[in-house]
A and B are shown apart, each in its own frame.
Chain A
Amino acid sequence: MSQRQVLQVFEQYQKARTQFVQTVAELATRPQNIETLQNAGVMSLLRPLLLDVVPTIQQTAVLALGRLANYNDDLAEAVVKGGILPQLVYSLVEQNRFYKKAAAFVLRAVGKHSPQLAQAIVDCGALDTLVVCLEDFDPGVREAAAWAFSYIARHNAELSQAVVDAGAVPLLVLCIQEPEIALKGIAASALSDIAKHSPELAQTVVDVGAIAHLAQMILNPDAKLKRQVLSALSQIAKHSVNMAEMVVEAEIFPVVLTCLKDKDDYVKKNASTLIREIAKHTPELSQLIVNAGGVAAVIDCIASCKGNIRLPGIMMLGYVAAHSENLAMAVIISKGVPMLSVCLSEEPEDHIKAAATWALGQIGRHTPEHARAVVVTNTLPVLLSLYMSTESSEDLQIKSKKALKNILQQCTYLPALEPLLYDAPPNILKHVVGQFSKVLPHDCKARRLFVTSGGLKKIQEIKAEPGSLLQEYINSINSCYPEEIVRYYSPGYSDTLLQRVDSYQPLTH
């Protein structure tokens, strides 16, 4: 055979390998093919191609592997068990940028499924090579490396600590300052995943000066970037008062309020999460938010969305109102209570209803003024029905009971209390009657109204054990009225009257 024919054999083999690897990579993009590929033993076939002579075959093989590992965790485990990771890590350092991108993709795909797989990645020393990739010139390589870091750090605090120890955080902050939007977003999400586990990790992120850069990026028009940035800031701010103060010092107010008006729902959600995390620490921070007009913006945001997006906003109102009565009054005058009642009645999910009841309880528990503002919107029957309904979850029942008790202890607005006399169970009824017994002795118009609306009649019908608190309240109410009225309304009065009629002997002249 001539030299040419010999060379032709090799060329054919190379072509066949290239075609195989490219087709597998393409097939791996569709989920329905992956099962078949797995059963055909594609992993064992791809492994030797990773060490192929031709660079394009290597890169395509790595890409195909990454797509397979991305799909489910069995394949990812097969990648780890097959000892492919050390080879990848070793060649990551030397190869060109396409290979680096594909290898970082594989690491990301393996690391995202579970903490054990991510730990396997850390154990084979991939973090150092990924840090080297973070310093690369090509933004695509940096993006892939940052994404891998974010998925690894997501699982738990030890893995985040490993990422921080590898020295990734300053490089991520440098990545944030790059002009490419996608790179910024991924770096922000990586920082958010690192900072969310514990205050120490958040402190490491803050120490490299990430807050200033993140705060600048809030103004960027790209929606995905805003999501990540707001999420990162809220993960930092949630840990302690100091961090929340540092985030506020970066002058995010009032810019953050414009994010509450964004078209994208998740931007709104993350923005209201950030405001909630800041508001929950101290009354001063809540005061700052109120002074900047944040409460009105959050209420508008709640009005404009539905479902889970509303939840952080509702919780924020609850936290603000919980700190002090002035802040609760500020929430009331910003028209927060009608909004919360609407949420309570509209939302189908139990946890959102629970949050709304808790928030209403926090607003109404301070003084009679506050309680009046809450009950005027007809929330008490709704709360009662939530408490009594068998469909509500336990959490919802407990929260609505607490909210009812808190509000009732301060409520002096009698027209709203009257419907409760009819429906309430005994433990709630005792509070309701107690409030009546506090108000009625001093207000004669209210007494009159009480009689004409049938409340006195209802009181007489209540059976209470003698000596209990309820009986005392009933007695004190009865003592506000003349004897005849009380007897008139007592149950069975008509019977006694008829008995008297029966037993009456008319005087015969």
Chain B
Amino acid sequence: MATLARLQARSTSMGQQYYYRNSVVDVFRKKENDAAVKIQSWFRGCQVRAYIRHLHTVATTIQKWWRGYLGRQRYQLIVKIQRRWRGYKIRKYCFNYYYLKEYLKAVSETNDAVREALEEFAEMKDREEKKADLEREEKKRDYQARKTHYLLSTKQIPGIYNSPFRKDPDPWELRLQKAKPLTHRRPKVKQTHSVSLSDWLACTSARSFPRSEILPPIDRKPCQGPFRPVAEVLEQRYRPLEPTLRVADPLDGLKEARREVQRQEWARNVNDNMFLPFSSYHKNKKYIPTLHLSSKYGSDSYGRQHFRDENPKRWICDKDFQTVLPSFDLFSKYGKLYSKAGQIV
């Protein structure tokens, strides 16, 4: 009884405990269930994939055999085409026999050309060298002949190269005849200066100072006597010229300038006749008169005729101007100077 009572007392708690323990495990149960499901699904997936792979390989093998069989049936045609194509490819692109032959021919032609060119070059070099040698020889012999020109034969005495017992004179004799004897070295003749302005200017420059080889010793005693100091004398002697503008200009400057202009124009102009027009240039040109002449009112009143000439018909009266004020001296002699032809009295 007591146990029963105890048990009954604990029954609720036990029920709770029981419920609690079950519910606690429930969470894990779910997790574990999921995990188990996952593992199983993965493993089944592997199995299926392996099976499918196996099926694939088998199918591939069968297809391989079948296609090979089909291909061998169609063997002749396809392989014929491939054969022809491969042969063509090799012959045309990889090893073109004819191209090689052409290339080798071109190479041998180039070789021949190069050989020829080099031969020519070597020959040319040879020739140049020989020519240079010959020239040198010639120059040497010429110099020898000039040095020994005195061995030339004269009218009286035959020279050593012109022995009377020989038929022809020795070629050296002919060379001696042609050679000009060597001259002694003579001092050069000084050129005479033409006197002109620029020369005078030049000879007063410092460079033309007469200089001797040896400078005079510095501590020379001054010469005795009524001599001016040397520096002064030299200064006076070598004072530079200061010409006026009139002297500095050349006399015929104007003429020169004119001649220069003429020369330039002569060089520049196409037609020497300056003011004559080209003959046919103005043929079709219409003459356009000036405004001055083409107006119906005639030319304007201008110029000497208008200002100076007298036209009695147009005078308004007979009398002259009255001189109220004495006129300028400037105009007093107008018309009276040299002759009575002036009409103003």
Contacts and interface: CB of A to CB of B under 8 A. Distances in A.
B114 A297 contact: yes
Contacts of A254: 114
A334 interface: yes
Given A261-B121, A263-B125, A326-B100, A291 B114 contact: no
B114 A296 contact: yes
Nearest to A294: B114
A334 B121 CA distance: 20
A334 B125 contact: no
Give the interface size bracket for A toward B: 20 to 34
Interface of A: 254, 257-258, 260-261, 263, 290-297, 300, 326, 329-330, 333-334
B110 A293 contact: yes
Majority secondary structure, B binding face: helix
Contact of B110 (A261, A291, A300): A291
A261 B118 contact: yes
5 closest cross-chain pairs (CB), A and B: A293-B114, A296-B111, A293-B110, A261-B122, A261-B118
Contacts of B118: 257-258, 260-261, 297, 300
**Which of the listed residues A254, A260, A261 has the most CB atoms from chain B within 10 Å of its own CB?**
A261
**Which of the listed residues B111, B112, B125 has the most CB atoms from chain A within 10 Å of its own CB?**
B111
A331 B100 CA distance: 14
Contacts of B103: 326
Interface in B103-158: 103-104, 107-108, 110-115, 118, 121-122, 125
Interface in B219-246: none
A333 B108 contact: yes
Contacts of A295: 107, 111
19 contacts: A254-B114, A257-B118, A258-B118, A258-B121, A261-B122, A263-B125, A291-B107, A291-B110, A293-B110, A293-B113, A294-B114, A296-B111, A296-B112, A297-B115, A300-B118, A326-B100, A326-B103, A329-B104, A330-B107
Interface residues of B, number: 15
Interface of B: 100, 103-104, 107-108, 110-115, 118, 121-122, 125
A334 B111 contact: yes
A432 B214 CA distance: 98
Contacts of A257: 114, 118
Given A254-B114, A258-B118, 13 more contacts: A258-B121, A260-B118, A293-B115, A296-B111, A296-B112, A297-B114, A297-B115, A300-B115, A326-B103, A333-B104, A333-B108, A334-B108, A334-B111
A296 B108 CA distance: 9
B293 to A, nearest CB: 78
Nearest to B128: A221
Contacts of A292: 110, 114
Contacts of A333: 104, 107-108, 111
Contacts of A258: 118, 121
Contacts of B110: 291-293, 296
Nearest to B115: A296
A67 B122 CA distance: 40
Contacts of A300: 115, 118
B104 A330 contact: yes
Nearest to A295: B111
Contacts of A261: 118, 121-122, 125
Contacts of B107: 290-291, 295, 330, 333-334
Contacts of A260: 118
A326 B115 CA distance: 21
A220 to B, nearest CB: 14
B116 to A, nearest CB: 10
A258 B104 CA distance: 23
A370 to B, nearest CB: 12
Contacts of B122: 261
Contacts of B112: 296
A46 to B, nearest CB: 38
